[in-house]
Amino acid sequence: MLAKVYVTPKKAILDPQGKAIAHSLHALDYPEVSEVRMGKYLEVRLAGLSKQHAEQRVEEMCRRLLANLIIEDFRFEIVEE
Amino acid sequence: MKWGVVTFPGSNDDRDSLYCLERVLGQEAVPLWHKDRDLHGVEAIVLPGGFSYGDYLRCGAVARFSPVMSSVVAFARAGGPVLGMCNGFQILCESGLLPGALVRNRSLAFICEWVSVRVETTRTRFTARYAAGECLSLPIKHGEGCYVADEATLTALRDNDQIVFRYVNRAGEALDAANPNGAVQNIAGVTNANGNVVGLMPHPEHAVEALLGGEDGRRLFTSVFA
C-alpha cells in the first residue's frame, strides 16, 4: 500500500519559492500563470494495515512530523500497489 | 554554573557555544549528544546553530524527535533555562516549546551579516542584564529565518510580553528596511510564557569578544548567572 502525501504552504504564508518560479514562468512567456505554490510530495510505503487503519496512521504521521500545521496544509491518498 | 550544549548530527555552532561558555565566560560546559537522554546534571541548556539532520523535511523537524529532546522538553517544562540560537530556535519552535515557525527568507538568499536588534523585554532568564529598548549588534547567518505566526499567536505574544528581540535600523526603529528575512513584525527572538525558554535567529555566541566584532551577545549568557 502506498500513501501519497502532499504538503503545501498555507495560503496565509508567504511562499517566496513559488513566487520566484512564477516569475520564471512569466519570463518563459507563460503569462497565463497567475500563481505558483511550492510544496512537497512524499511517498510513504506501508505494510500490514487495512486501508482504514492506514488512513488513520498516515493522518497521525502528517500531524506529528510530515507537516507543520502552523505553516503547512496536507492531504493524502492511499492506493493499493 | 553547569551548562550543556547539545550536538545533533549537522550542528556546527556547538563548539563555538562551548568555547564561549568555557573559555570566554569561565563556565563549566559539557557537550550533550543527541542520542543521550541523560542531561548530566546541567543547570542550563544551549541548542546551537547548524543544520541538524541536514535540515531534512523542515529545519529542526527531525531533531525535535531525537532522544535528547524529550529530556530537554521535560527540563524546559520544569522551568530550566533553555536557549536556542538559529537552528536551535527552529528546533524549539518545531518541538512546541516556543510558538510560531521559521520559514525561508523572503529573499530566498542565505544571509550572513551583522544586524541590529532591539531588546524588547528583560523579563526572560536570558535578557535580565540588558535594558529594555537597548540595541545590540549581533551576526545572523541563515536561509530560513523568517519568523511567522498567526494573528492570534501574535496577539498573545504581545499581550504576554513574549517578543524578546526585533530587527531594527541604526536609529532603533523596527522598519521593514531593517528586516533582513521578512520576519513578521521584525521579530528576531521570542520566549515562552514563563520566560525560561528563549529562541533567536542571531548568534550571541559569536558576539562575545571584541576581537571577533563585538561583545553584545555576552549578557544573554551572563543573565542566567544572576
Q: Across residues A15-19, what is the average pLDDT?
A: 92
Which of B101, B106, B146 is facing A68, going by the closest CB pair? B101
B21 closest CA partner among B34, B38, B2, B42: B2
Question: Is the pLDDT at B140 greater than 70, yes or no?
Answer: yes
- pTM equals 0.95
Over residues B48-66, the pLDDT tens digits come to 999 999 999 999 999 999 9
Q: Across residues B17-36, what is the average pLDDT?
A: 97
Q: Across residues B78-82, what is the average pLDDT?
A: 98
Q: Give the pLDDT score at B63.
A: 95
Q: Which residues of B touch A (CB under 8 A)?
A: 57-58, 61, 65, 93-94, 100-101, 103-108, 146, 148-150, 182
The answer to whether B202 and B165 have CB atoms below 8 angstroms apart is yes
Q: Across residues B170-175, what is the average pLDDT?
A: 96
Q: Is B203 in the active site?
A: yes
Say if the Cβ atoms of A70 and B103 lie within 8 Å. no
B137 closest CA partner among B116, B121, B120, B118: B116
Q: Give the pLDDT score at B159.
A: 97
Q: How confident is the model at residue B226 (pLDDT cuts 50, 70, 90)?
A: low
Say if the Cβ atoms of B182 and A66 lie within 8 Å. no
B220 closest CA partner among B138, B114, B144: B138
Q: Is B20 in the active site?
A: no
Gap between the Cα atoms of B89 and B104, Å rounded: 14
Question: B64, B148, B184: which to substitute to probe chain A, counting the most A Cβ within 10 Å?
Answer: B148
